Amino acid sequence: MGMHNEGDRVGPSSTRRRGTVDYMRIAGSRSNVHGLVEVDVTRAREAIRAVAEQTDEGISFTGFVVFCLGRAIEDHPEINAYRDWRGRVHVFDDVDVNVLVETTIHGEQLGVPHVVRATNRRSLRSIHDDIRTAQESSDPTELPRWGRLALRLPGIVRRQVWRLPQWFPNRWKGMAGTVAVTSIGMFGGGSGWAVTPTNYTVQLTVGGIDTKPRYIDGEVSPREILNLTVTFDHDVVDGAVATRFTQRLRELIEDAHGIPEPDDL
């Protein structure tokens, strides 16, 4: 017979947590392949700091990663796609990125999903402003009444919504975007990767940043290295395409693509 300490507590799981559990169960059944990539972000971080010093508002690192993701997919549009239950592949023109943004609700820091639309056709500043607006929203976690009711349905019924990418890819795009960016470095420092199931064909998980030695022009130099996890649905994206896309994404990030030079500010 189990023993309980006096300070132990037992309580119901939150309604919102049920949605997370449902999502992870469905996402875990997909053919996900994960790549753990080290990206030199020294130049990009220096450029972002320079912008912050010369303007009233800087540029968020998350916004920069989203901007580079949109441009990399613009160069490799075949990965902005979903395979439906009939075996057809739906390829989308717009790169709609579902971003986990940090916001404070009732004094508690939370990661809240927000879709930044058409990132492949927008400026870095526009993406930055979009994310900042989402972070400053009064209560982005408030669910509509139908959403709260849906989360009270039996699990086998609730989980069907996460099958939308296979059933109706266009509706999934409208509701949740086409690709995703999430971050484990949002609430803590240090280096490290995260590997997580996802319901998206492509997902970036932004890990920690650490200082490591690297050879630059034949000399050892300390560099800021980002741990980035790139996840693909192997049912849609093959290895060669995934490799070329990842190389292009790394190039854009390491070149600080889109961040204005000090003389242009």
Q: Which distant-in-sequence residues (6+ apart) come within 8 Å of 129 by Cβ?
A: none
At 99 the pLDDT is 93
Residue 197 in any domain: the answer is yes
Three-state DSSP string of 98-135: EEEEEEEECCEEEEEEEEECCHHHCCHHHHHHHHHHHH
Lowest mean pLDDT, pick from 20-34, 124-138, 204-218: 20-34
Residue 9 in any domain: the answer is no
pLDDT: is 133 or 152 the higher one?
A: 133
At 80 the pLDDT is 97
Give me the mean pLDDT over the 152-158 stretch: 50
pLDDT above 60 for 15? no
29-45 in b/e burial notation, b at 16+ Cβ within 10 A? ebebebeebbbbbbebb
Encode pLDDT of 68-106 as tens digits.
999 999 999 999 999 887 888 999 999 999 998 876 655
In which region does residue 28 sit, left (phi positive, over 0), alpha (psi from -120 to 50) or beta (all else)?
alpha
At 154 the pLDDT is 47
Tell me which residue of 205, 194, 243 sits closest to 72, measured CA to CA: 243
Residue 22 in any domain: the answer is no
Measured over the CA atoms of residue 65, residue 59, residue 107 and residue 152, the dihedral's sign is negative
Query: What is the CATH number for 238?
Result: 3.30.559.10
pLDDT above 60 for 24? no
Give me the mean pLDDT over the 32-57 stretch: 92
CA distance 180 to 205: 8
Residue 114 in any domain: the answer is yes
Give me the mean pLDDT over the 226-233 stretch: 95
Residue 74 in any domain: the answer is yes
Give me the mean pLDDT over the 55-59 stretch: 82
Contact 92, 173 (CB under 8 A): yes
Mean pLDDT of the chain: 81
At 7 the pLDDT is 62
Residue 178 in any domain: the answer is yes
pLDDT: is 120 or 164 the higher one?
A: 120
Partner residues linked to 42 by β-bridges: none
Q: How many CA atoms does the CB half-sphere of 3 hold within 13 Å?
A: 1
pLDDT band, very low/low/confident/very high, at 128 (cuts 50, 70, 90): very high
Q: What percent of the chain has pLDDT over 90?
A: 49
At 230 the pLDDT is 97
Beta strands 97-105 and 32-40: pairing type? Answer: unpaired
At 187 the pLDDT is 45
Which residues constitute the domain of residue 89? 32-259
Question: Which alpha helices (H) appear in 30-123, and where do they start and end?
Answer: 42-54, 61-75
pLDDT: is 215 or 65 the higher one?
A: 65
Residue 84 in any domain: the answer is yes
Number of domains in the chain: 1
Longest dimension (CA), the chain: 72
Encode pLDDT of 169-228 as tens digits.
888 898 889 999 998 754 445 677 888 888 899 999 999 899 999 988 889 999 999 999
Q: What is the pTM of this model?
A: 0.81
Residue 21 in any domain: the answer is no
